[in-house]
């Protein structure tokens, strides 16, 4: 429109102007317009009037014409199956939406002009943007109202890796997750076990190298449970020797703890905390278990009672939990929930096998002990301490002695941020609500960065609102790269879980997505609590028969085939171990004097905070002193 107006006007001013000449002049002017405005020749502009545009403009702000999509540089050529995609899930809906990333820039938000539209009210109009640049995908939060949690942590921007999770939610515990997937670029080992290859270190012309938390080590490994100078690899013409440098949590070769210089052979696997090093004559390949771990229980049976009256409280349960999954163990009182959880975490073993990334947990409990976090039902913190001090004392007791005060302070701040308790850092534990105290107990276990996280009734005693928020916290912990298993009676918010395991009379009667529970148990009310009525009965014999019937029905179902049988088909063939083998219970090296000093300091702190006790002690001590003098 404006172009035609200019041509007509110039023709009227000077009738000798040729139309082609006028159009040529206008083309030069349009091409120069962005530079005159202070832009750049490559800036996006309106194809009609030449107005400089922003990336968000769909219509020209000057002439109003609808704009054609901007020509964008493409990703490197890939097959459709190799292109990245976003997988969008809303807890409770039971469906997922896959969005292929076939361009280089995608906006995410609630308004219809976004490339990826999320209709949930807690999503901002323009919430974030995903962009391919410099050979990687970048996510940026656009100052949204509720923010974005990136792998369980609130953040503004990140370079995305395979299986990273973006979660958008509100303060009431509602959320939607967006998983970034690169399916064809994920090796089988990483997909199955959440193991990520970090790289390799060449051993050519290397005579000695150190491994530890110290950044100056030849192979620095950053994890709280790793010692500053953890191990050393010495090479000579006669071979390679691995030496543990007195580390707190040990160095392992092929599952066995190194107690003296250990000769290494081609293909030996060295494990230090969450890191795995594979030795060859030429290099050390480094892997990290940062994407969660896989947990499998195979034919778990637990019996209690005297020999002549043995009672089975776990009855041949097999279960498979993949990395980053959040699983709830649900059932009536006495169903076997806590027993199953304690068998899976190795604290109270059952007959059968428990595998962590395909390795026998019971045989190598010492190796995996530091990877397991367990929060019991009762709070594990002193109520008379300030939150930060309670965590500092716990860190001094749980982390290696060479952990500096600055490192401890960073860990305290980090775990408080993860459980959203930063604002309560300097408050006494006694002043916190039940839900806040439970979060502090969770923070204590997070200090050592466990990959497997078990919680016994974390929502017990909480009102429905706090229960929902607590379940969202657990969901975010799983998003952050942990495999999370919890025991609960409450079913109102199990839609936050990936899978739910229903137990009855020691039998597993269902394992699968929470959205399929009601259909499986033929509950039409829409209330998960009504499932209990299908399983329980005042008559013990009838209750046992119901459990057997539902177990048989489950094992004959597609849910069992998909979520148990097929998952366990992928496991390596494992030699059955003798049922009487006892789990290893080796403990880390303990500095008794250090622990005594830490506990003494904590006790003094508690005494000075308990003014009544302090007053009594101050009054009694002179009397005791006088009596001692009289007796002597």
Taking residues 318-337, report their average pLDDT.
92
Q: Please state, rounded to an integer, the average pLDDT across all residues of the chain.
A: 82
Asked if the model's pLDDT at residue 201 lies above 70, the reply is yes
pLDDT confidence bin for 603, thresholds 50/70/90: low
Asked if the model's pLDDT at residue 152 lies above 80, the reply is yes
Does any domain span residue 577? Answer: no
Taking residues 252-269, report their average pLDDT.
93
Taking residues 242-250, report their average pLDDT.
94
Does any domain span residue 66? Answer: yes
Does any domain span residue 222? Answer: yes
Residue 63: what pLDDT? 61
Do 364 and 471 lie in a common domain?
yes
Do 158 and 180 lie in a common domain?
yes
Find the range with the poorest average confidence among 324-328, 366-370, 489-493.
489-493
pLDDT digits (tens, 9 = 90+) for 168-194: 998 778 899 999 998 654 454 455 565
Does any domain span residue 360? Answer: yes
Do 200 and 129 lie in a common domain?
no
SS3 125: coil
Residue 57: what pLDDT? 63
pLDDT confidence bin for 570, thresholds 50/70/90: confident
| Domain finish residue from 159, 186, 213 | 186
Do 334 and 469 lie in a common domain?
yes
Residue 625: what pLDDT? 73
pLDDT confidence bin for 72, thresholds 50/70/90: very low
Asked if the model's pLDDT at residue 406 lies above 90, the reply is yes
In DSSP terms, 284 is beta-bridged to 201, 279
Number of domains present in the structure of the chain: 5
The residue to which tokens 């609500």 are assigned: 433
Do 284 and 374 lie in a common domain?
no
pLDDT confidence bin for 44, thresholds 50/70/90: low
Residue 65: what pLDDT? 59
pLDDT confidence bin for 53, thresholds 50/70/90: low
pLDDT confidence bin for 321, thresholds 50/70/90: very high
SS3 308: helix
Higher pLDDT, 575 or 153: 153
Higher pLDDT, 291 or 210: 210
pLDDT confidence bin for 565, thresholds 50/70/90: very high
Asked if the model's pLDDT at residue 600 lies above 90, the reply is no
Does any domain span residue 574? Answer: no
Find the range with the poorest average confidence among 6-20, 383-397, 533-547.
6-20
Do 174 and 89 lie in a common domain?
yes
Taking residues 467-476, report their average pLDDT.
90
Phi-psi region of 291 (alpha: psi -120 to 50; beta: other; left: phi over 0): alpha
In sign, the C-alpha dihedral spanning 422, 424, 428, 432 is: negative
- In this structure, are residues 374 and 347 in contact, taking their beta carbons and an 8 Å threshold? yes
Residue 292: what pLDDT? 72
| Helices and strands, counts by H and E, the chain | 16, 32
Do 364 and 393 lie in a common domain?
yes
pLDDT confidence bin for 611, thresholds 50/70/90: low
SS3 227: coil
Residue 607: what pLDDT? 56
**Going by DSSP bridges, is the β-strand pair 452-456/295-304 parallel, antiparallel, or unpaired?**
unpaired
Higher pLDDT, 40 or 588: 588
Do 283 and 319 lie in a common domain?
no
| Domain with 206 in it | 189-288
Q: 404-407 long-range contacts, Cβ below 8 Å, gap at least 24?
A: 407/224
pLDDT digits (tens, 9 = 90+) for 513-554: 998 999 999 998 888 888 988 888 888 899 999 999 999 999
Asked if the model's pLDDT at residue 268 lies above 80, the reply is yes
Does any domain span residue 585? Answer: no
| Domain finish residue from 154, 186, 218 | 186
Taking residues 207-213, report their average pLDDT.
94
pTM exceeds 0.75? yes
Q: Residue 423 has what DSSP assignment? A: G
pLDDT digits (tens, 9 = 90+) for 425-440: 999 998 998 889 999 9
Residue 465: what pLDDT? 84
- What values do phi and psi take at 608, rounded to 5? -70, -20
Higher pLDDT, 293 or 79: 293
Residue 334: what pLDDT? 86
- What is the strand order of the sheet 116-117 is part of? 116-117, 105-109, 128-133, 136-141, 157-159
Residue 58: what pLDDT? 60
Question: d(Cα 589, Cα 215) in Å, to the nearest integer?
Answer: 23
Who contacts 387 (Cβ-Cβ below 8 Å, separation ≥6)? 416, 421, 424, 425, 426, 427, 428, 429, 432, 440
Whole-number percent of the chain with pLDDT over 90: 51
CATH number at residue 234: 2.60.200.20
Higher pLDDT, 79 or 514: 514
Do 558 and 496 lie in a common domain?
yes
Does any domain span residue 584? Answer: no
Taking residues 65-78, report their average pLDDT.
53
CATH number at residue 391: 3.40.50.300
Do 220 and 161 lie in a common domain?
no
Taking residues 16-42, report their average pLDDT.
45
Asked if the model's pLDDT at residue 509 lies above 90, the reply is yes
Does any domain span residue 586? Answer: no
pLDDT confidence bin for 93, thresholds 50/70/90: confident
Residue 536: what pLDDT? 86
pLDDT digits (tens, 9 = 90+) for 621-631: 677 777 777 77
Residue 584: what pLDDT? 46
Residue 202: what pLDDT? 87
Asked if the model's pLDDT at residue 343 lies above 90, the reply is yes
Question: d(Cα 295, Cα 313) in Å, to the nearest integer?
Answer: 21
pLDDT digits (tens, 9 = 90+) for 23-33: 554 444 444 44
Taking residues 576-588, report their average pLDDT.
43
Who contacts 328 (Cβ-Cβ below 8 Å, separation ≥6)? 485, 486, 487, 488, 494, 497, 499, 500, 501, 514
Taking residues 272-295, report their average pLDDT.
86
- In this structure, are residues 169 and 175 in contact, taking their beta carbons and an 8 Å threshold? yes
Higher pLDDT, 34 or 250: 250
Report the alpha-carbon angle 98-104-110, nearest 5. 55
pLDDT confidence bin for 203, thresholds 50/70/90: confident
Asked if the model's pLDDT at residue 613 lies above 60, the reply is no
Q: Residue 380 has what DSSP assignment? A: -
Residue 184: what pLDDT? 53
Asked if the model's pLDDT at residue 51 lies above 70, the reply is no
Residue 329: what pLDDT? 96
Do 447 and 514 lie in a common domain?
yes
Do 388 and 443 lie in a common domain?
yes
């Amino acid at each position: 429109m404006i172009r035609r107006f200019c041509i007509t006007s110039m023709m009227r001013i000077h009738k000798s102007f040729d139309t082609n000449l006028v159009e040529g002049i206008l083309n030069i002017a349009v091409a120069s317009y962005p530079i005159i405005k202070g832009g750049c020749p490559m800036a996006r502009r309106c194809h009609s009037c030449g107005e400089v545009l922003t990336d968000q403009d769909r219509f020209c702000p000057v002439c109003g014409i609808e704009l054609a999509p901007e020509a964008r540089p493409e990703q490197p050529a890939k097959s459709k199956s190799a292109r990245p995609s976003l997988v969008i899930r809303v807890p409770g809906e039971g469906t997922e939406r896959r969005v292929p990333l076939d361009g280089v820039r995608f906006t995410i938000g609630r308004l219809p002009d976004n490339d990826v539209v999320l209709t949930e009210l807690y999503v901002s109009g323009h919430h974030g943007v995903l962009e391919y640049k410099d050979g990687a995908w970048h996510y940026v939060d656009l100052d949204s109202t509720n923010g974005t949690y990136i792998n369980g942590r609130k953040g503004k921007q990140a370079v995305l890796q395979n299986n990273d999770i973006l979660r958008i939610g509100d303060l009431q515990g509602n959320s939607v997750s967006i998983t970034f997937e690169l399916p064809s670029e994920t090796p089988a080992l990483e997909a199955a076990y959440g193991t990520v290859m970090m790289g390799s270190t060449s051993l050519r012309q290397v005579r000695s190298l150190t491994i530890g938390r110290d950044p100056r080590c030849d192979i620095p490994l950053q994890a709280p449970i790793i010692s500053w100078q953890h191990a050393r690899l010495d090479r000579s013409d006669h071979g390679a020797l691995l030496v543990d440098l007195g580390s707190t949590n040990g160095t392992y070769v092929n599952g066995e703890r190194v107690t003296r210089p250990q000769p290494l052979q081609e293909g030996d696997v060295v494990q230090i905390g969450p890191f795995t090093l594979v030795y060859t004559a030429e290099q050390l390949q480094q892997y990290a278990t940062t994407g969660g771990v896989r947990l499998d229980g195979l034919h778990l049976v637990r019996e209690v009672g005297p020999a002549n009256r043995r009672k089975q409280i776990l009855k041949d349960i097999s279960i498979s939990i993949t990395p980053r999954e959040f699983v709830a163990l649900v059932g009536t009182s006495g169903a076997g929930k806590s027993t199953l959880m304690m068998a899976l975490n190795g604290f109270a073993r059952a007959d059968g096998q428990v595998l962590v990334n395909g390795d026998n947990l019971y045989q190598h409990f010492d190796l995996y002990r530091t990877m397991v976090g367990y929060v019991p039902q009762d709070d594990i913190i002193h109520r008379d301490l300030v939150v930060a001090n309670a965590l500092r004392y716990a860190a001094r007791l749980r982390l290696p002695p060479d952990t500096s005060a600055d490192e401890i302070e960073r860990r305290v701040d980090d775990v408080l941020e993860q459980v959203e308790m930063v604002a309560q850092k300097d408050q006494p534990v006694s002043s916190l609500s039940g839900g806040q105290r439970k979060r502090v107990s969770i923070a204590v276990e997070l200090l050592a960065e466990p990959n497997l996280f078990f919680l016994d009734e974390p929502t017990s005693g909480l009102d429905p609102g706090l229960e929902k928020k607590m379940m969202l916290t657990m969901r975010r912990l799983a998003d952050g790269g942990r495999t999370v298993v919890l025991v609960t009676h409450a079913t109102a918010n199990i839609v936050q879980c990936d899978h739910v395991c229903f137990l009855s009379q020691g039998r597993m009667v269902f394992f699968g997505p929470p959205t399929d529970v009601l259909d499986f148990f033929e509950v039409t009310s829409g209330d998960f609590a009504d499932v209990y009525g299908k399983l329980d009965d005042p008559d013990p014999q009838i209750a046992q028969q119901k459990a057997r019937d539902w177990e048989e029905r489950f094992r004959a179902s597609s849910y069992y085939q998909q979520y148990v049988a097929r998952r366990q088909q992928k496991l390596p063939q494992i030699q059955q171990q003798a049922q009487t083998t006892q789990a290893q219970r080796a403990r880390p090296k303990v500095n008794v004097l250090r622990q005594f000093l830490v506990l003494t300091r904590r006790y003094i702190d508690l005494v000075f905070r308990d003014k009544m006790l302090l007053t009594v002690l101050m009054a009694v001590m002179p009397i005791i002193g006088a009596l001692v003098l009289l007796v002597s």
